[in-house]
Amino acid sequence: MLSVGRGPHLYRLGETNLLRSPTPTLSEAIVATLTYSSLFDYALDAAQLHRFLVGHRASREEIEDLLPNCVHIARYMRENVCYITLRGREELFEQRLVADTVSAEHWSRCLYYGGFLRAYPSIRMALVTGSLAAGNSRIGADADLMCLVDDRRLWSTWLVIRWLTRLSGGFSEPEFCLNYIVGPQKRQFPPSIYIAWELAKAVPLFGGQHYFDILFQNRWVYDYLPNAEDLVSRDLNVEPVRDRRGQIAEWSARLLDTRIGGVVELVEELREKWVIKRKYGNSFAQKKAETEIKYHKISRNVALLTRYSEELKRVGLSHLGLWYDVNESIKSLQSQLSQGLK
């Protein structure tokens, strides 16, 4: 189901390169990649290690030939699948096997929820991101989604979806979290290894062409993850659901397209901005330039990148340009917090 294919081939590493010199050798790139995935308590399989290899373009065969000679890694074979993590984190192998089972269960429900979202014409794209996109779901975890929504109905669409989910009895686990909703004009993101990884591993439930457009407008992603260009998730192209929830969704979508929807949009925008400012202060990002809603703590991203910087230093990779780049990303995010961006 989560197949990958060749991307839009609109960019090649070397047109621009955000990563500073020196760039990692293949063995250093393997360790840097596993260091990052270990922050999420996640062992990669060989295909994922190849796809998300940091800062170095290499074939899967080249990577697998080098693995036996990497002293910093541990491997585990199960049913012809090779799982890989850093030495000393072997407990992640068992966690990975559990995550594979849970993720498969969550995906079946996520496809249904994607059909529910597709009933709204104002939602042009829905991407699965976060742990579910990586296959790292845990029991009790939520599922993160990024949606591309018509600017005219950005806030009201989010409101209606949220309440219809509750009023219809909710959805069984996982809980779905629309933590990033962008308008059509907001498609460029600030470069960082965190955002590169999130965009590269995303899986389109529908609206795959918009996803390719986002990757094109954020071509720097392939500076961080050059192999990911040839391994883009295929559009699952889910169909709208036709049950009671789907009928309610279609009815509410038509209502949002009227003048009533315009009033709801204005009121909800003002209400949400007031709630976010009062409840979360400088910890959350708000809608910016009328094209973005982001319910995701900037401070959490700072903490994650800080841990990555410390771990790169611990494994002896602080001489790489990647280490300096990570620290620049931390400074940029801290600057946003100091400026009051939420």
* Distance, CA of 109 to chain centre: 18
The pair of structure tokens assigned to 197 is: 């990884």
**Residue scoring higher pLDDT (117 or 273):** 117
Reply yes or no on whether the pLDDT at 88 is more than 80: yes
Predicted confidence (pLDDT) at residue 159 exceeds the cutoff of 90: no
For CA atoms 76, 307, 187, 228, give the dihedral sign.
negative
Task: Give the Cα separation of 282 and 302 in Å (integer).
Answer: 13
Residues 135-140, mean pLDDT to the nearest whole number: 87
Q: For residue 139, give the nearest of 179, 176, 97, 106 by alpha carbon.
A: 106
Q: What is the pLDDT of residues 257-304, one digit of tens each?
A: 888 888 888 898 888 778 767 765 544 444 443 456 665 567 778 888
**N-terminal to C-terminal alpha carbon distance within the chain:** 36
- The arithmetic mean of pLDDT across residues 251-257, rounded, is 83
Do residues 216 and 10 make contact, with C-beta atoms less than 8 angstroms apart? Answer: yes
State the pLDDT confidence band at 10, using cuts at 50, 70 and 90.
very low
Q: Provide the 8-state DSSP code for 239.
A: P
At residue 4, the pLDDT reads: 54
Per the CB < 8 A criterion, the answer to whether 228 and 12 are in contact is no
CATH number for 98-276 (one of 3.30.1340, 3.30.70, 3.30.460, 3.40.50): it is 3.30.460
- Asked whether 50 and 61 are in contact (CB, 8 A), the reply is no
Give 290 or 321, the one with higher predicted confidence. 321
Segment 122-151 shows an average pLDDT of 88
Maximum Cα–Cα distance across the chain:
66
What local confidence, expressed as pLDDT, does residue 279 receive?
A: 65
Q: Are 342 and 286 in contact (CB under 8 A)?
A: yes
CATH level 2 (architecture), domain 24-89:
Orthogonal Bundle (1.10)
Question: According to the model, what pLDDT value does residue 295 have?
Answer: 56
The sheet carrying 123-129 orders its strands as 203-206, 123-129, 143-149, 176-182, 292-294
CB atoms within 10 A of CB 314: 10
HSE-CB for 210 with a 13 A CA cutoff? 22
> Which one is predicted more confidently, 295 or 329?
329
- Token pair for 241: 């659901």
DSSP state of 175: P
pLDDT band at 165 (very low <50, low <70, confident <90, very high): low
Q: Is 81 helix (H, G, I), strand (E, B) or coil?
A: strand
Question: The pTM is what?
Answer: 0.84
The reported pLDDT for the residue numbered 338 is 62
Q: Is the CB of residue 199 less than 8 Å from the CB of residue 218?
A: yes
What are the extents of the domains in the chain? 24-89, 98-276
pLDDT digits (tens, 9 = 90+) for 31-84: 999 999 999 999 999 999 999 999 999 999 999 999 988 888 998 888 778 899
Please tell me the chain's helix, strand, coil percentages from 3-state DSSP, rounded to the nearest 5: 50, 15, 35
User: What whole-number distance in Å separates Cα of residue 26 and Cα of residue 329?
Assistant: 23
**pLDDT above 50 for 101:** yes
More confident residue, 170 or 12: 170
pLDDT, residue 145, reads: 87
**Token pair recorded at residue 68:** 């036996």
Average model confidence (pLDDT) across the chain: 82
For residue range 213-245, list pLDDT tens digits in order.
999 999 999 999 999 988 888 889 999 888 877
